[in-house]
Structure 1
Amino acid sequence: MVLSLSYRRPAHVSRDSINTEKSGGAESQSSGSSCPYGIPDALSFDRIINGGTCPPVTTREFMDFLIYIEHDAENLQFYLWYRDYVKRWSELPEREQGLAPIWTPEQAQQARNEALTEKSKKVNNADAAQAFRGTDFDSKPKRNQDTPNPFSTPPRTPSNEVGRDSMATAPSTVGWSDDGSTLGSSVAHHQKTSANAFVEVGAHQPFTIQPYREEISRIISIYFAEGSVRYLNLSGKERTALLKALSITTHPSAFKDVVATIEYTLRHQLHPNFIRWTICNGNAPRQTFARGLGIGGIVAGLVYGIIITLSDAGRGWRALAFLAFFIGISTLFAAWKGMCVVLHGMHHRHLRPWELFGSDDTSSSGYDLKKDSFDTLGSANSFEDEPWVAKYDKRNVIRKIFDREVWIQEPALRSIQDTIFIQALITAFVIGGVLTAIFLAVPAGNKF
């Protein structure tokens, strides 16, 4: 099945454009839409997340794209965790759900207003301090560094005990080491990090008897604490409002605003970029090679047409230039869209670098590259130390051009590629015909 001949591949969506759309009120658009054009319903975001698609357009390939290409996998990882969290919460007994109240829209709006007020105060205080710096009104006047300060307190060593005042202001941080090793477990580290995050935004320490409180501490430590391994790209207002909500309740409604932001990014930026990238059936060296062949075909057609036109050969021989133009232009057009016509003829695609060596690494080291990426409470999304990176870099260019191939199973993706291929043929027929007609119209060389 071929789509409309006016089909256009999804345009690349940058983070800056998404932020501009959101600030302009684009968040009021339907959450089901992903892009003005280029994504059929069969490849919609919801179908991919719900497992309604075939390789290479499944949730697994989407996660791989976000890790290795877009470097933004934490959005999908958190989103998948939240979907599972809502499901598990709905299965809790009503008695346990009653321990964590719903975070109402009024409370959310109040938290956002308080976050804006606190930010404004910090900015005003910083501006005032900058204006009075070096004057008699400077709150921190400069002092001769050679003169000791008689009112300063010597820094404590790690063995010193924490005073009562420190315990009163931050009781949750007493007795913790920087890496959480004091209690000898990662749970202790997550609890410490989340407690510090609550203190930073001026929120109260939460009730520990609420359902999934320990899991929420891990989520804060991984996704929302400053310097966390999967820190989400949120505004300070959103982060502050969320932490204040989580200090009161573990109800899924506390994540409503943050999930809306993340889902908007997934639907309107990352998902269109994923479809655009998946349409490409060849790797970068193969695309460059295809472009070279296309340009070579066009040049060959021009050279042949010029030579035959300037010679005394019959006019009909000039029409053979159309074949070179047709092959060259169609190949170049398809390569411009990221496709190799040879691979498309078999409905094949190149295996991705992490797919080439994934099975070997799993069998030899026992580590599954896919499993860790779907661990929503896992470590950082770095892959530079994975074995396949060094192995793929050592492969020569010729071998990369002719890498292993696999059949494309998703029918909707094949339809998109068929449409682009037909567009390439039509474009090549029209442009090649015009160029050939020009050569046919020029007088023979012996007439000059």
Structure 2
Amino acid sequence: MSSKLLQKFRVWLLLERDWSSVSLSTVLDGHTCQPISRREFRLYLQHREHSLENMLFHEWYLDYLNKWDELPLPLRAKSPAPPPMSFLHVSIPLDPQEGFFRSQSGSTDNLVLPEVWTPSIYTTEDAKFKDSIDAISQPFRPEVEQILSTFFIPGSDQELNLPYNIKDHVLKSAVKTTHPNVFKPVHDHVLRTMEQQSLQSFLTVAHGNINIKGIIFRYVMSTLFFLSILVILLVAHFMHMSRWFRIAVFPFTFFLVFTLISARAGTCFFKVPSRRRYLHDYEMCEIGRLSAFEEWDVKSMVKEWTTIADPALLRYNKALAIRALTLATSIAVLFTIVMVAIPY
């Protein structure tokens, strides 16, 4: 309980960010709006993280499962599930309350974590399985071969970044069967990567309504406010002025803290009421690419994309502005009182 309270306190103090309301499933299922929608996440993976192949494989796998479920049973029988593989449970830092790995009931009792597979050790049963299958007549064989060359062959443009044992399992099993279970360990690994790494980085960048230039500008202004405070205190000290003169540090302290919070959060609080924002680099890359085609109205696109439409993000920004205002005022008042109370 104490750790949860401490975490909430750190979030309130803006030392940590809380993205518990946004999971990978909500983004990929289209339940979020810009600037944290599926489209922006896709652009982030493509232009910033250069790992779009993870999302592409996820989309293909879900489509493949749907097509497989629609097959008649006789066709499915031609491509049975691959033999079970021996595997080791490896401790993986995973929040059981988050995203795709959360059970539907909300309890963690029935939680199934993705396994880290070891290379197959084929038994006599496996050998019989190999010999009894006619791979050519299997459903979706051309599609599986295309997927192997796209995501698994070394050197391909969209090669997945996979552990050797998982890739080895797929390449060996896919030769003899096109069953979706062949690719399940890959899908689990891809989801885990997007949930634990890509999504967190994306949300940290995407929630801000200013770009890197705006952040640098705020840090520069914070430095100027800090220097102004020093000048006031030094002048009051060496000129033997009344200590009430030090009250002048209040506005500079307020704007120092307020600007630092704005820079750290990547958010301009004056833009919060207007629901506007600056575009990030991965969005500008896409706009630059589309501007080469005359049928795209780039100005209208920029105007549309600079609008913050996600309700959760709008609430987050408003709460962030209130917390920043409260913290800046409190710190400025306390600091001013201390400075005035200190004698010459």
Normalized against structure 2, the TM-score is what? 0.75
Cα contact 1:295–1:332 (8 A) shared by 2: no
Q: 1:441 aligns with which of 328, 332, 341?
A: 341
Runs of 4+ in 1 over 6 A off after TM superposition: 8-11, 203-206
Match of 2:218 in 1: 290
Q: Structure 1 residue 83: deviation in Å? A: 1.2
Q: 1:277 aligns with which of 197, 205, 228?
A: 205
Per-residue Cα deviation, 1:267-322 (whole angstroms, up to 9, x for no partner): 11111111111122211111101111122222223322432454465544422321
Match of 1:307 in 2: 235
> Alignment partner of 2:306: what SS?
strand
How many residue pairs match? The answer is: 297
The answer to which structure, 1 or 2, has the higher relative contact order (CA under 8 A, 6+ apart) is: 1
Letter aligned with residue 252 of structure 1: P
Identity rate of aligned residues, in percent?
Answer: 26
Cα contact 1:331–1:341 (8 A) shared by 2: no
Cα contact 1:348–1:407 (8 A) shared by 2: yes
Match of 1:346 in 2: 274
5+ unaligned residues in a row in structure 2: which ranges? 1-7, 89-116, 123-130
Match of 2:92 in 1: none
Structure 1 residues 115 and 267: alpha-carbon distance in aligned structure 2, compared to 1, 3 A threshold: same
Q: CA RMSD in A?
A: 3.4
Cα contact 2:206–2:280 (8 A) shared by 1: no
Per-residue Cα deviation, 1:167-220 (whole angstroms, up to 9, x for no partner): xxxxxxxxxxxxxxxxxxxxxxxxxxxxxxxxxxxx999712212111111111
Structure 1 residues 360 and 63: alpha-carbon distance in aligned structure 2, compared to 1, 3 A threshold: closer
Structure 1 residues 407 and 310: alpha-carbon distance in aligned structure 2, compared to 1, 3 A threshold: farther
Q: Distance in 1 between matches of 2:51 and 2:287?
A: 24
Structure 1 residues 414 and 298: alpha-carbon distance in aligned structure 2, compared to 1, 3 A threshold: farther
Letter aligned with residue 439 of structure 1: M
Match of 2:18 in 1: 38
Q: Distance in 1 between matches of 2:328 and 2:39?
A: 36
Residue 220 (structure 1) aligned with residue 120 (structure 2): no
Letter aligned with residue 351 of structure 1: L
Structure 1 residues 315 and 82: alpha-carbon distance in aligned structure 2, compared to 1, 3 A threshold: same
Normalized against structure 1, the TM-score is what? 0.59
Match of 1:328 in 2: 256
Q: Distance in 2 between matches of 1:209 and 1:70?
A: 39
Q: Distance in 1 between matches of 2:42 and 2:184?
A: 23
Match of 1:425 in 2: 325
5+ unaligned residues in a row in structure 1: which ranges? 12-36, 118-202, 369-387, 389-402
Letter aligned with residue 410 of structure 1: D
Structure whose CA Rg is larger: 1
Residue 74 (structure 1) aligned with residue 53 (structure 2): yes
Match of 2:126 in 1: none
Q: Distance in 2 between matches of 1:10 and 1:435?
A: 20
Cα contact 1:10–1:276 (8 A) shared by 2: no
Residue 7 (structure 1) aligned with residue 11 (structure 2): yes
Q: 1:267 aligns with which of 195, 206, 213?
A: 195
> Alignment partner of 2:253: what SS?
helix
Q: 1:236 aligns with which of 161, 164, 171?
A: 164
Q: Structure 1 residue 69: deviation in Å? A: 1.6
> Alignment partner of 1:341: what SS?
coil
Per-residue Cα deviation, 1:321-364 (whole angstroms, up to 9, x for no partner): 21111011111122122223333353322113454474575364
Structure 1 residues 6 and 325: alpha-carbon distance in aligned structure 2, compared to 1, 3 A threshold: same
